[in-house]
Structure 1
Amino acid sequence: MEFSAILALLVTFLITLHFLMSWWRQTRRYRSLPPGPTPLPFLGTPNYMDQQTAVKNYTMLSQKYGPMFTLWKLSEPVVVLCGYEVVSDALQNHAEEFSARPIVPTLHFPTEGYDINGPRWRPLRRFTITTLRNSGMGKKTMESRVLEEATYLNQEVAETEGKPFNPLHILASAVGNIISLVLFGEHFDYKDPKLHELMTQISGHIRSILSPSHMLCNVFPFLLKLPIVPKIIFKEQSYLQNFVLKYIEEHKRTLNPEAPRDFVDHFLLKIKDMEHEEDPDFCDLSVLNVGVGLLSAGAETTASTLKFSLVLIAHYPDVQVKVQQEIDDVLQSLRPPGMKDRPQLPYTNAVVHEVQRVLDLAPTALFHAVTKDIQFRGYTLPKGTIITPFLTSVLFDPTQWETPEQFNPGHFLDEEGRFRNRVAFMPFSAGKRICAGENMARMELFILLSAVLQKFTIKLPPGVERRDAKWLNANKGEMIAFAELCAVPRAVPTM
């Protein structure tokens, strides 16, 4: 055998030995993790890592291994938490220890870490939540903007004249306008092509995050260093960045420190306050990325929830009648329901919550990671271990819900018909990483859905069969994207 062939064999042997030793050291370090399917060397458990089949896979694995089990992304472990007891224990009782996030290459690359999911998350998140909650933002409160948009939304629905239509675009336009007003102070006409294109790009951006190309780049981050790859997989995100950047530049030119108009103005003033720092968290990059994050995440998820709400309501006409009767009794037709009316509308509030539970829009929360080595429920989780809270298992936990597989607004009502909170209601996740836009989303869902049902009865088009909640949930993607409904104007009582 020639020397070159012997050398090649030796190199191959040494590389293989290196990988085997690395794998052995890795598995020894993580030998105290929860049980799970046996990983393949270097490949992990790829057949269980697809987010599209997570609900089915995680449910099956939790039945086999218990409420905590370990999957492997190549040689990196991912611990999945199931059920209210375990998820709550981690995210709420050990909130700080489970508050980190792993670096996801396709999320980190375009933001450089200047966003509320990156390493600078604490000050950016705190500022974002406080500013969104600030009722003095601009000349109008957040609620007044949502109520005003409810009027525009009903005008658009009225134009359908009771004929079958897909409400998703109208709902997305309403939610998109609300977040646009909050961020930039601009409202679009529902037929404005600029608004249509924005919502299309947002939908494409959300879909791309779960696409095979993003998953491949997260497994092999070196691909992002190839010039053509970022241009392809971040196409929609680049559009959104340019969209937000134009508003930022305009706001810089017209900023009045004595009268901030919207979120961007408040952020620019914060940047000025921090500009003396050597490496400030508040800078042009952070206002851009936080703006893109709020614009994309808030619009897509809330619009999808509203569409599913109307679909579900149409399949449960008895529930719809009770909601409308309650609204009529409290408000007649004087004005749309506001947040101050929510205590007097317990059944309506219960329906809004139950829709979110049944929809289960985000089956798994964004990845968490532990901040230090921690002993948790009999296992040792080394610092940096990736954690996946399986929220479906919380929202459908049979120990927490009387009829978890059914659409039952009674889950949120006590024996006297008063609204009751449920500790296992976690559609926005929980703990220190709970959705930053939770309060705004809750307000939008309650006001917009109540306003539509106050003025219209939502019906199924002729020939469409009524379905139960389990079927609707199993087909929620199709229902949200394509289902058509009819909005028939109501004769509401007057004073």
Structure 2
Amino acid sequence: MRRWSFFLWLDLRGILLFILIVLLVVYFLNKKDPPNFPPGPPALPLLGNIFNIEPKQPHIYLTKLADVYGNVFCIRLGRHKTVFVSGWKMVKEAIVTQADNFVDRPYSPMVNRIYSGNSGLFFSNGKVWRRQRRFAMAMLRTFGLAKNSMEQSICEESRHLQEAMEKEEGEPFDPMPLLNNAVANIICQIVFGKRFDYSDHNFQSMLKNLIEMAYLEGSMWALLYDAFPALMRHLPGPHNGIFSNSKSLETSIRREIERHKLDLDPSNPRDYIDTFLIEEKHNRRNEQGFEEGNLVLCCLDLFLAGSETTSKTLQWGLIYLINNPHIQDKVQAEIDRVIGQTRIPTMADRPNLPYTDAVIHEIQRMGNIVPLNGFRMAAKDTTLGGYFIPKGTSVMPNLTSVLFDKTEWETPDTFNPRHFLDAKGRFVRRDAFLPFSAGKRACLGEGLARMELFLFFVSLFQKFCFSTLDGVELSTEGIIGATRTPYPFKIYAKAR
């Protein structure tokens, strides 16, 4: 019996040794790089560099790696190689000059679990992506930018926001929920055809799920899931919140779609959902993505992009102008001179507010709302920065490295509105200003976001002076997820 147990132990040890040898052989075969492949830091077998990445500030760690390995380098996330591209010139080369080659998204186990198949606006590829992007942009123009009432809708929402701030009656409060409510209501009007009261339970539930999902999608938990999906799928942990939050949001969106079906008038579409449902009836070709499951996911993408980024930018705006009261004073003096304190601002005022416009752009640059970008995939063998990038390689443009590029910005690490002003105080555009990315995967709602930022910002500083608790300097570090979020802070809003 003992002899049998001994042989059984030997067999078990042999099997484990065999499995280990196979895994190491697979790793080293996979690790072998083609000639002239981008360099990178040493990686652990099977694990790669994933545990080298600073979880709280991964964009800073990845930006600093460019100082060591150059503007095109490779790190390994588990067994998968990812090429990171840094600096304005190389990022432009990848996403603008070679836009066609780096337009597709690579396979992601996490994304595929939410967006099964080729679906949604952000993670789809090919015909579905092209058709759905064109359709979404047309809807944003129809129910957003080109609709004369959109400016009026934003200003009306600004009034609701101001009233909510006035209710604080001079006491310190957290501005994040109020800004989230106001900004989300703009995309809700375009997608759902209505705004929500700030106290609406379903609305608040959607925003809570959205905020949590946006954080987790850009966290280390998401990287771990994509690197080790077979293991992470069965483990407890925060990564499971990505999927539970997305399911809750999908349920809420489906409820809105069912509501639309009850009184749909094909001759008079009210919003994005109506128009999609009408298109679905006339276009049954699945290769274009006009089916109800995809409508849910496209709405999810629009809701995420149309609320998170703009709200976060306004939050950073409060922080930077509270920390720099002399800049807040100059903004308000310009607003008073051009608009006054009673007239409602319009987009026609923007050319006459160059300093305010420069401040908004500098908030976007320093706020660095999307620190990295979406993963891209090389459609064919190519070169970047003199390095060979094989077909199918995952590529990540580092937007932080562009917005803080020392060769493009005079004082990259300092909040300085003069980055966007000439010697005569006139507003100037900068090529390296890429908060919305660039190329064919640039933010499809950029025009609407610019309108919202300008009108919300001007309305707020027209009506209030903002400050914080005595002796407190608000932190300019952020919480990193898919977007960069300020740490919780409290402010005073004093009516002017």
TM-score (norm 1): 0.90
Q: CA deviation at 1:145?
A: 1.9
In structure 1, what is the Cα distance between the partners aligned to 2:288 and 2:366? Answer: 42
Indicate the SS of the match to 1:47: coil
Deviations 1:60-107 (A, max 9, x none): 311111111110012211111111111111111111111111122112
After alignment, is 476-485 or 444-453 more displaced?
Answer: 476-485
Amino acid at match of 1:178: I
Deviation at 1:379, TM superposition (A): 0.9
Whole-Å separation in 2 of the counterparts to 1:479 and 1:39: 30
Residue pair 1:78, 1:385 contacting (<8 A) in 2 also:
yes
2:105 matches 1:101: yes
**Kept after mapping to 2: 8 A contact 1:336/1:450:** no
Q: Is the CA contact (8 Å cut-off) linking 1:360 and 1:427 kept in structure 2?
A: yes
Letter in 1 for 2:257: I
Matched, 1:175 2:183: yes
Q: Aligned residue pairs: how many?
A: 484
1:256-335 equivalences under 5 Å are 256-275=265-284, 277=285, 279-335=287-343
**Counterparts of 1:479 and 1:24 in 2: how far apart (Å)?**
39
1:174-213 deviation digits (Å, cap 9, x = unpaired): 0121111111112222223333222222112212224555
Deviations 1:412-454 (A, max 9, x none): 1112211111111111222111122222222111110110101
Report whether the alignment pairs 1:111 with 2:118: no
CA distance in 1, matches of 2:61, 2:454: 33
1:412-431 correspondence runs (5 A): 412-431=420-439
Kept in 2: contact 1:168–1:480 (CA 8 A): no
Aligned partner letter, 1:155: E
Cα deviations by residue, 1:305-355 (Å, 9 ceiling, x for unpaired)? 211111211111111111112112221234322222111111111111100
Q: How does 1:49-198 map to 2 (within 5 A)?
A: 49=53, 52-112=56-116, 113-116=118-121, 117-119=123-125, 120-134=128-142, 141-198=149-206
- Does the 8 Å contact 2:406/2:412 carry over to 1? yes
Structure 2 CA distance for partners of 1:94 and 1:66, relative to 1, 3 Å: same
What is the identity, as a one-letter code, of the residue corresponding to 2:433? F
CA offset digits 1:94-141 (Å, max 9, x no partner):
111111111221122122131111233221122112211225789764
State the distance in 2 between where 1:136 and 1:447 align: 14
Quick check: 2:464–2:494 contact (8 Å CA) kept in 1? Answer: yes
Matched, 1:482 2:491: no
Letter of the structure 2 residue corresponding to residue 88 of structure 1: K
Distance 1:160 1:42, change over 3 A: same
2: distance between equivalents of 1:135 and 1:329? Answer: 32
Aligned to 2:472, which of 465, 480, 494?
465
**Shift of residue 17 of structure 1?**
4.4
Match of 1:397 in 2: 405
Q: CA deviation at 1:476?
A: 6.6
Once residues 90 and 365 of structure 1 are traced to their aligned partners in structure 2, the CA distance between those partners, rounded to angstroms, is 12
**Distance change (3 Å), C-alpha of 1:205 and 1:488:** same
Superposed displacement of residue 264, structure 1: 0.9
Q: Which structure 2 segments of 5+ residues have no match?
A: none
State the distance in 2 between where 1:27 and 1:383 align. Answer: 16
Shift of 1:460: 2.1
Q: Which of 252, 270, 277 is the aligned partner of 1:243?
A: 252
Equivalent position SS for 2:476: helix
Q: Residue in 1 aligned with 2:457? A: 449
- Alignment check: 8 A CA contact 2:71 2:385 kept: no
**Following the alignment from structure 2 to structure 1, what is the Cα–Cα distance between the partners of residues 286 and 456?**
44
The more displaced of 279-288 and 222-231 is: 222-231
Match of 2:395 among 387, 401, 405: 387
Query: Secondary structure at 2:486's aligned position in 1?
Result: helix
Measured at CA, do residues 166 and 286 of structure 1 come closer, stay the same or move farther in structure 2, by a change above 3 Å? same
How many angstroms apart in 2 are the aligned matches of 1:459 and 1:231? Answer: 38
Q: 1:206 to 1:475 in 2, by over 3 A?
A: closer
| Alignment partners' CA distance in 2, 1:479 and 1:37 | 29
Q: 1:349 aligns with which of 350, 357, 360?
A: 357
The one-letter amino acid of 1:95's match is A
Residue 405 and residue 225 in structure 1: after superposition, are their counterparts in 2 closer, same or farther (change >3 A)? Answer: closer
- Check the 8 A contact 2:189/2:195 in 1, yes or no: yes
Q: Deviations over 1:16-71 (max 9, x none)?
A: 44434433432334443211111222221123345533133223311111111110
Tell me, what secondary structure is at the counterpart of 1:52? coil
Cα gap change, 1:129/1:30 in structure 2, threshold over 3 Å: closer, same or farther?
farther
Secondary structure of 2:56's counterpart equals helix
Contact 1:370–1:385 (8 Å) recurs in 2: yes
**Mean alpha-carbon deviation: is it higher for 314-323 or for 220-229?**
220-229
Amino acid at match of 1:57: Y
* Contact kept? 1:308, 1:476, Cα under 8 Å: no
Greater shift, 207-216 or 297-306, is seen at 207-216
Specify the code of the residue in structure 2 equivalent to 1:419.
F
Q: Counterparts in 2 of 1:17-56, with a 5 A limit?
A: 17-49=21-53, 52-56=56-60
Contact (CA 8 Å) 2:76, 2:82: kept in 1 or not?
yes
- Whole-angstrom CA distance in 1 between matches of 2:274 and 2:24: 55
- Gapped runs of 5+ residues in structure 1? 491-495
Cα RMSD over matched residues? 2.6
TM-score, length-scaled by structure 2: 0.90
Deviates more, 1:118-127 or 1:402-411: 118-127
